[in-house]
Amino acid sequence: MSSLISTPNSVRFSGEAGQGNILMGIIFAKALVKEGFWVVQSQHYGAQVRGGLSYCDVLFDQEPIDYPEAKNFDILYLMHNVGLNHIGNLKRNGILFYDEKFVENIPQYVERITKKIIKVPASQIAIEELSNKNVANMIGLGVLCSVTQIISLESLIEEVKSNVSKNYIEIDEKAIKIGYDLCKKRYPLESTKMYKKLGKGYE
């Protein structure tokens, strides 16, 4: 086994049931497989169909993953205040993304954990530019993948086409593209940078 790898990278998509954060994680995980990573994806649903906490965890590595669970995360995407407690599971110097419409009052202690905090106007853009609040998840996914440089836009779009209803393919593709171009910050994960230097993954 390669000595370059220690533990898998870990990402949590957290939000209110019905916001589409589970679909974010599924598309993200399948696109990672396409990029050549080993991937584990899991889901948690609250008792309510809508309104309760739900989250999707994705672990990925360039080697097979021995233990398919994480307690702390390199990346956390918050879609709603209901998931604020998950901030306590963000690794030091991890990356926090949050939807500014539904996540308020980010606790001040977060800045002691990380300075990599990105406010994403995903829901606002979904409503104002695409007239559909349901595509905020795809805008957010585009932002996350662009900022971290983990997954190429082409792989994301391919997985969107394979995993959403035909009625949503066109608008979801637009949303992914908007998100991918939305933020100029770049916080690439060190392990994925190394992976690409070895000639794997996209450039």
At 111-121, the pLDDT tens digits run 999 999 999 99
Domains and CATH numbers, the chain: 7-180 (3.40.920.10)
What is the enclosing helix (H) or strand (E) of 38?
strand 38-45
Instruction: Give pLDDT tens digits for 46-95.
Output: 755 567 899 999 999 999 999 889 999 999 999 999 999 999 999 999 99
Q: Which amino acid is at 159?
A: E
Per-residue pLDDT at 189: 86
Per-residue pLDDT at 199: 53
Q: Cβ(77)–Cβ(95) under 8 Å?
A: no
Instruction: Give pLDDT tens digits for 21-33.
Output: 999 999 999 999 9
Residues with Cβ within 8 Å of 13's Cβ and at least 6 positions away in sequence, in order, are 21, 22, 24, 25, 28, 55, 56, 57, 58, 77, 79
Per-residue pLDDT at 190: 74
Give the pLDDT band of residue 136 (cuts 50, 70, 90): very high
Q: Which amino acid is at 73?
A: F
Crossing angle of helices 153-163 and 166-182, in 10° steps, is: 160
Q: Cβ(16)–Cβ(53) under 8 Å?
A: yes
- What gap in Å lies between CA 132 and CA 134, rounded to an integer? 5
Higher pLDDT, 122 or 105: 122
Residue for token pair 């779009």: 157
pTM greater than the 0.85 cutoff: yes
Q: Has residue 203 got a pLDDT over 60?
A: no
Hey, CA dihedral for 164, 80, 188, 127, is it positive or negative?
positive
Per-residue pLDDT at 202: 47
Q: What is the overall mean pLDDT for the chain?
A: 90
Q: Has residue 41 got a pLDDT over 50?
A: yes
Residues with Cβ within 8 Å of 47's Cβ and at least 6 positions away in sequence, in order, are none
* Planar angle of CA 91, 7, 188, nearest 5 degrees: 60
Per-residue pLDDT at 7: 86
Hey, CA dihedral for 24, 30, 35, 41, is it positive or negative?
positive
Lowest mean pLDDT among 73-82, 101-110, 167-176: 101-110
Q: Has residue 191 got a pLDDT over 70?
A: no
What integer is the mean pLDDT of 175-202? Answer: 77
Closest CA to 180 of 92, 120, 115: 120
